[in-house]
Amino acid sequence: MILCFDIGGSAIKGAITHSPERIFPLPRRETPLTDFRRFVEAMESMIDEAGGIPDGVAISITGVIDPQTGRIKCANIPCIDGRKLTAELEAALHLPVVIANDADCFALAEAGIGAGHGHRIVFGAILGTGVGGGLVVDGRLINADGGFAGEWGHGPVAAREAGDPPIAIPAFDCGCGQRGCVDTIGGARGLERLHVALYGNALASHEIIEAWERGNAEAARTVEVYVDLVSSPLALVINITGATIVPVGGGLSNSEALVAEIDRTVRQRVLRRFDRPLVVRGECRLEPGLIGAALLGFGGHG
């Protein structure tokens, strides 16, 4: 038995698992943000609730572990930021612990039992509040010991003009400290930012998507510019990794029409030609973090 956790800035989700296909969720807890002892106690209480002694703990978490130092960078949960989290949790819980970034766990879930099943190289792309990703090769995470592979949202590579006819795009400041990152225009906040830049009209991302799907001209122009901006960096990722499938998760993946439009554009920009969908909606719609953590715990991590 393995205890799986999917930990974000608002909630800790837990589950008992005997295999990646047999996951039994536990009642979630609020994530303690500023008290590490309470953070550990929340996990301990869920382990106690599971009954029995698990063989180990596998965690999908927001944030990235530096493979050189073992320290996690996690702005969303200040009490763990900068800690050697794997070692500290093993000492506190007296159990083996494996940890991976939540985007990595999404990619692992999709490669294992989702849209990427049967593909050697799977790049999982997150289009949520921001932009993230994870790379799985032969069923194993590239980020076996932590690391930043798959973080295509960061780096100052966003185009300075996009759309047909082209329109100038500002280099927006990114939370990572750079300017012009894909993250600034590629997630839900990025879509909203683009709409304001084009029309001075603040709408929620779902409102923009809904208006586009109804045929609204302004929303259609925003989505066209958005797809143009996102598709070239994603095509480059595919060229570099050799991925043959790109499952997409995050809130923007709820629009099948948007994912289909990104797929159509990306397939025009990659070197290898595909006569089938390449960028697809992720199939693990319920709890991909827990599924990915389960796969991580059962050996899909290196």
278 or 50, higher pLDDT: 278
pLDDT tens for 33-50 read: 999 999 999 999 999 998
Mean pLDDT across the stretch 202-231? Answer: 98
The CA distance from 139 to 135, in Å, is 10
Statement: residue 226 has pLDDT above 70: yes
pLDDT tens for 48-58 read: 998 888 999 99
The CA distance from 67 to 247, in Å, is 25
299 or 274, higher pLDDT: 274
pLDDT score, position 251 = 95
| 247 burial via Cβ count (<10 Å: 0-12, 13-18, 19+) | buried
pLDDT score, position 147 = 86
Delimiting residues of CATH 3.30.420.40 domain(s) in the chain: 2-104+286-297, 118-281
Residue whose tokens read 């629009």: 255
pLDDT tens for 61-70 read: 988 999 999 9
H or E stretch covering 137 = strand 131-137
Going by their DSSP bridges, the two strands 64-65 and 72-73 should be labelled as: antiparallel
Tokens of 233: 């960096």
Most confident of 17-21, 74-78, 206-210, 294-298: 206-210
- Closest by CA position to 249, among listed 61, 60, 114, 65: 114
Statement: residue 27 has pLDDT above 60: yes
Most confident of 133-147, 208-222, 279-293: 208-222
pLDDT score, position 186 = 96
pLDDT tens for 144-175 read: 888 889 999 999 999 999 999 999 999 999 98
Q: Where does the pLDDT of residue 300 fall: very low under 50, low under 70, confident under 90, or very high at 90 and above?
A: low
Tokens of 32: 């303690």
Report, at the CATH architecture level, how domain 118-281 is classified.
2-Layer Sandwich (3.30)
- Residues of the chain above pLDDT 90, percent: 87
pLDDT score, position 20 = 77
Sign of CA dihedral 83, 87, 91, 96: positive
* Single pTM value for the model: 0.93
Contact call for residues 150 and 102 (beta carbons, < 8 A): no
Residues listed for the chain: 302
Statement: residue 301 has pLDDT above 50: no
pLDDT tens for 90-122 read: 999 999 999 999 999 999 999 999 999 999 999
Mean pLDDT across the stretch 119-126? Answer: 98
Q: Where does the pLDDT of residue 60 fall: very low under 50, low under 70, confident under 90, or very high at 90 and above?
A: very high
pLDDT score, position 176 = 86
Q: Where does the pLDDT of residue 302 fall: very low under 50, low under 70, confident under 90, or very high at 90 and above?
A: very low
Residue-averaged pLDDT of the chain: 94
Please tell us whether the domain made up of 2-104+286-297 is placed in CATH 3.30.420.40.
Answer: yes
